[in-house]
Amino acid sequence: MALLQLSEPGQSAAPRQHRLAAGIDLGTTNSLVASVRSGQPETLPDEQGRHILPSVVRYTADGVIVGHEAKAEATSDPLNTIASVKRLLGRGVDDIKSLGARLPYEFRQEDTAVPRIHTVGGDVSPVEVSAEILKKLVRRAEDTLGVDLQGVVITVPAYFDDAQRQATKDAAKVAGLNVLRLLNEPTAAAVAYGLDSGSDGVHAIYDLGGGTFDISILRLNRGVFEVLSTGGDSALGGDDLDRLVAEWIMSEAGISDDADHAMLRRLMRDACAAKEALTESDSAQLRVDLDDGSHWEGELTRDQFNSLVDPLIKKTLAPCRRALRDAGLTAADVEDVVMVGGSTRVPRVRELVGDFFSTEPMVSIDPDCVVAIGAAIQADILAGNKPEEEMLLLDVNPLSLGIETMGGLVEKIIPCNTTIPVARAQEFTTFKDGQTAMAVHVLQGERELVSDSRSLARFELRGIPPMVAGAARIRVTFSVDADGLLSVEAQEQSSGVKASIEVKPSYGLTDSEIETMLRDSIEHAEDDMEARRLREQQVEADRVIEALRAALDEDGKVLLNEQELESVEAALEKLVAISRSDSHSEIKQGIEALEKACEFYVERRMNASVKSAMSGHSVDEFE
Amino acid sequence: MLDFSKNYFELFGLSAGYIIDVEQLAGRYRELQRVVHPDRYANASEQERRISMQGATRINEAFDTLKDPILRARYLLSLNGIDVAAQKETTQDTAFLMEQLELREQLEEARSAEDPYEVIADLMNGINRKINTLIGQMAVQFEESTPEQLEQAREILRKMQFLQKLRYDAESLETELDEVY
């Protein structure tokens, strides 16, 4: 057999192309996209030079508008203009009500657990709204960079639970993106400052955004990041600073509390401008046109401003104190404080936070961009552009995972702060004679009572052979992947009856719902869908072929004997041959066949790399 | 996949024993994760990503087991053919059990103490000291691992589990008190 005609010598030794990947900060108020170009991470602007994309999506009868143009219509078309959708991601309708948010939207709840918002463009779920923002950012990145993105890293708050993380990933799926990793926002900020390459220690990430405040305490231990604790205030942000200044102007200028909306909006704008001016100068001049045609002029000094906002800034220090206590630390243990969020530009914020932690806050990177930049750096590494990179981000699961047991109690299976990926199993038994089914209720949270925990999923294991109470042995296995996403499996041990049900969070979308959204998002065109599936499979086939060729070049002759090498190469050629087929299912089967044929080789390679990682150690250490 | 026939010590290239150099263990752990972690395979095929996930999970499990003195003892016993079910075996040492009762009473009384946090902190320090003493005793049993010594080790492990549960309850009480204020 002529198997050696495969490739020209040196063909696959061509210099590897730089793969472009992007980091996305999918924020509550604003979103950003960043990428590493010629070694430098930078946020990418739109064609008008604007880096920030307001996280606002407006649905019209003619289509979807995202960003500044949508935000401009927020007051004129509130029902169809959706802002702060991140607060709704991974939430049920009841959750949203209890969030206390006074939302103007019309919610529709049909047969699915996911709330839908009624707009003139149709009913949309928070996942789809988020997908629109992601699509807009990715289009911007691909236009700027001139190539398709290899993949993206999307940041999420450290306290996001499983349902919220899953919803974020679903949004990426609907947007047609390859997610390399979900990354915790504070971890991304720490990466942006290169804290991973510095000394080991404890770092605080102080994030004062427009409407929310978050504090995270991270520990870095030899390239490994661990989130120790998080805290914050979801109803406190930079907008509150503006409000305080606006109220001051009102009292100075004698504007009454019942001034109209237009006036209030103008005042908020003037207040914001004054706040921004005061980051540079010691005083800000104000001029407000009054309704009677006259105007008011005044001056706000930095000292006056500081005394106005001090109570508010001090309010952020209470969650800092609590987060430190949760981590079992004091302010003195914290080496650095990274400042995130536009409001941390206010000098008084830096001053008080610096005093609290007794350290000069880190502010050299634009606080609006720092999370996106960290995500871009991580995306670049994950895309394979820095094979020598030593950094490894080991995340922990932020909340404990467990199942409901008798009496409405939660039995924890994976405690919080366990390094992921992780799999843990626990055995349970039946409590009634002849019991043939068992309900598994999956919960998340630190509390002992089911009623205090967040319900993630419910499923049933059926077909347990009837036995006396306590005789059946049901093994429940929890697995959390590197993105913090959970899957659960239950198996009766003596009979082998298994309920390997794919657990989706209670407020998550089913695969078929995602499929439908994906289809909807490309305008109901069945052909487009088909074309897209085909392209996806071709890309995946190319990826598999490229990876296998590179692997064979590297160690094929070392790890495989002649026969094995021949069989692997033959399987590879088979896929090469069908990879340009126009049937996505044929290519898919081809990929599966190749993967099956090469499984032993992939395993051997991983063992070899493990062995070589350990080979630096003397032989006697190995016994 | 990682060689599943290897035990956790072999996986980290360490000789099996109770006394362990935690720094060395942590170093090996990071070296292994650097080559196996799914982040290293973000761009690889579905299959490689799956294998990498299983490998990283296994390494995390091995590390969590070996770094914890109680889990490590239980694991070493299981390598010697003795499976000690968590929380299910009880020591018959009456003096030890009496002491446990007293400690539990002290914990209950902490609730009504003037400074409950201080009482709990003192109690936890005491528990940690006791566990450390048992760790020392445990190390001796695994030096030669004769059947008698393994039986001794098992008894020490039962006591460790007792103390660990008490420590957990003390931590829970502290959390409970936090929530009240």
Please spell the DSSP secondary structure of A104-163, one letter per residue: --EEE--SSSS-EEEETTEEE-HHHHHHHHHHHHHHHHHHHHSS--SEEEEEE-TT--HH
- B32, B45, B60 member nearest A419 (Cβ): B60
Q: What pLDDT band is residue A132 in, cutting at 50, 70 and 90?
A: very high
Tens place of pLDDT per residue across chain B (181 aa):
466 678 999 999 898 899 999 888 988 988 888 889 888 888 777 888 888 999 999 999 999 999 999 999 999 999 998 888 766 677 888 899 999 999 999 998 988 888 888 888 899 899 999 999 999 999 999 988 899 999 999 999 999 999 998 998 888 888 777 665 5
Contacts of B88 (CB under 8 A, 6+ apart): none
Closest approach of A552 to chain B, Cα-based (Å): 14
* A524 vs A88 pLDDT, higher one: A88
Q: How far is CA A235 from CA A212, A312, A422, A545, in A?
A: 6, 12, 34, 50
Query: CA-nearest residue of chain A to B4?
Result: A607
The mean-pLDDT minimum among A99-108, A127-136, A306-315, A456-465 falls in A99-108
Q: What pLDDT band is residue A57 in, cutting at 50, 70 and 90?
A: very high
Average the pLDDT over A560-587 and give the result: 88
pLDDT at A622 over 50: no
CATH superfamily to which A399-508 belongs: Substrate Binding Domain Of DNAk; Chain A, domain 1 (2.60.34.10)
The mean-pLDDT minimum among A568-577, A613-622, B38-47 falls in A613-622
Find which of B40, B79, B88, B165 to mutate to test the A interface (most A CBs within 10 Å of its CB): B40
DSSP per-residue letters across chain B: ---TTS-HHHHTT----S---HHHHHHHHHHHHHHHSGGGGTTS-HHHHHHHHHHHHHHHHHHHHHHSHHHHHHHHHHHTT----TTT-----HHHHHHHHHHHHHHHHHTTSSSHHHHHHHHHHHHHHHHHHHHHHHHHHHHH--HHHHHHHHHHHHHHHHHHHHHHHHHHHHHHHHHH-
pLDDT at A478 over 80: yes
Helix (H, G, I), strand (E, B) or coil at A238: helix
Average the pLDDT over A291-299 and give the result: 86
Provide the whole-model pTM: 0.77
Average the pLDDT over A323-327 and give the result: 83
Residue-wise pLDDT for A326-337, tens only, equals 787 889 999 999
Helix/strand/coil percentages in chain A, nearest 5: 40, 25, 35
Residue A283 touches partner B, C-beta closer than 8 Å: no
Asked if B1's CB is within 8 angstroms of A392's CB, the reply is no
pLDDT at A346 over 50: yes
Rounded Cα distance, B33 and B39, in Å: 10
Closest approach of B64 to chain A, Cα-based (Å): 9
Q: How far is CA A121 from CA A79, A344, B151, B155, in A?
A: 11, 38, 72, 69
Catalytic residue among A132, A161, A170, A185: A185
Q: What are phi and psi of A485, to 5 degrees?
A: -95, 140
What is the DSSP secondary structure assignment for residue A223, as one 8-state letter?
A: T
Rounded Cα distance, A622 and A83, in Å: 58
Rounded Cα distance, A28 and A332, in Å: 32
CATH 1.20.1270.10 domain residues, chain A: 524-612
CATH code matching the domain that covers A21-238+308-396, chosen among 3.30.720.210, 3.30.420.40, 1.20.1250.20, 3.40.50.10490: 3.30.420.40
pLDDT score recorded for residue A456: 82
pLDDT score recorded for residue A197: 62
A617 chain-B contacts, CB cut-off 8 A: 13, 28
Q: What pLDDT band is residue A358 in, cutting at 50, 70 and 90?
A: very high
Which residues 37-76 on chain B approach chain A with CB closer than 8 angstroms? 37-39, 42-48, 51-53, 55-57, 60-61, 63-64
Of A17-31, A230-244, A525-539, where does the model show the most confidence?
A17-31
A552 chain-B contacts, CB cut-off 8 A: none
pLDDT at A154 over 90: yes
Residue B87 touches partner A, C-beta closer than 8 Å: no
The mean-pLDDT minimum among A83-97, A540-554, A567-581 falls in A83-97
What is the DSSP secondary structure assignment for residue A495, as one 8-state letter?
A: T
pLDDT at A530 over 80: no
ipTM over 0.85: no
Q: How far is CA B21 from CA A516, A615, B11, B15, B39, in A?
A: 54, 18, 15, 11, 27
* A266 vs B134 pLDDT, higher one: B134
pLDDT at A482 over 70: yes
* A308 vs A522 pLDDT, higher one: A308
Q: What are phi and psi of A355, to 5 degrees?
A: -60, -45
Residue A482 touches partner B, C-beta closer than 8 Å: yes
pLDDT score recorded for residue A3: 37
Query: CA-nearest residue of chain A to B179?
Result: A447
Q: What pLDDT band is residue A4 in, cutting at 50, 70 and 90?
A: very low
pLDDT score recorded for residue A196: 65
A326 has catalytic annotation: no
CATH 3.30.420.40 domain residues, chain A: 21-238+308-396
Catalytic residue among A46, A128, A196, A207: A207
Average the pLDDT over A255-283 and give the result: 86
CB neighbours (10 Å) of residue A23?
A: 33
* A339 vs A16 pLDDT, higher one: A339
Q: What pLDDT band is residue A13 in, cutting at 50, 70 and 90?
A: very low
Rounded Cα distance, A199 and A104, in Å: 48
C-alpha angle with apex A291: A286 to A295, nearest 5 degrees?
35
- A446, A598, A607 member nearest B2 (Cβ): A607
Asked if A614's CB is within 8 angstroms of B45's CB, the reply is no
The mean-pLDDT minimum among A121-125, A258-262, A302-306, A547-551 falls in A258-262
pLDDT score recorded for residue A91: 82
pLDDT at A532 over 60: yes
- Class of domain A524-612 (CATH, top level): mainly alpha
* A249 vs B145 pLDDT, higher one: A249
* A529 vs B8 pLDDT, higher one: B8
Asked if B14's CB is within 8 angstroms of A595's CB, the reply is no
pLDDT score recorded for residue B86: 61
Q: What pLDDT band is residue A473 in, cutting at 50, 70 and 90?
A: confident
Q: Which H or E run contains A331? A: none
Residues of chain A with pLDDT > 70, as a percent, come to 87
Helix (H, G, I), strand (E, B) or coil at A228: strand
Average the pLDDT over A227-240 and give the result: 82
A19 chain-B contacts, CB cut-off 8 A: 43
Residue A438 touches partner B, C-beta closer than 8 Å: no
Helix (H, G, I), strand (E, B) or coil at A567: helix
Average the pLDDT over A109-137 and give the result: 86
Find which of B57, B61, B63, B83 to mutate to test the A interface (most A CBs within 10 Å of its CB): B57
Rounded Cα distance, A2 and A367, in Å: 60
Distance from chain centroid for Cα A519? 23
pLDDT score recorded for residue A370: 96
The mean-pLDDT minimum among A126-135, A187-196, A312-321, A569-578 falls in A187-196
B43 chain-A contacts, CB cut-off 8 A: 19, 150-151, 180, 382-384, 543, 547
Look at residues A607, A614, A390, A482 and name the one whose alpha carbon lies nearest to residue B38.
A482
Query: Across chain A, what does the average pLDDT equal?
Result: 83
Rounded Cα distance, A533 and A587, in Å: 10
Rounded Cα distance, B111 and B173, in Å: 8
Rounded Cα distance, B108 and B87, in Å: 21
Q: What pLDDT band is residue A402 in, cutting at 50, 70 and 90?
A: very high
Both tokens assigned to B135: 């760790």
Distance from chain centroid for Cα A279? 31
pLDDT score recorded for residue A527: 60
Look at residues A82, A209, A187 and name the one whose alpha carbon lies nearest to residue A133.
A82
pLDDT score recorded for residue A10: 36
pLDDT score recorded for residue A171: 94
CATH 2.60.34.10 domain residues, chain A: 399-508
pLDDT at A76 over 80: yes
Both tokens assigned to A339: 């400042």
Residue A619 touches partner B, C-beta closer than 8 Å: no
Domains of chain B: residue spans and CATH: 8-67 (1.10.287.110), 94-180 (1.20.1280.20)
Q: What pLDDT band is residue A19 in, cutting at 50, 70 and 90?
A: confident
Average the pLDDT over A106-118 and give the result: 73
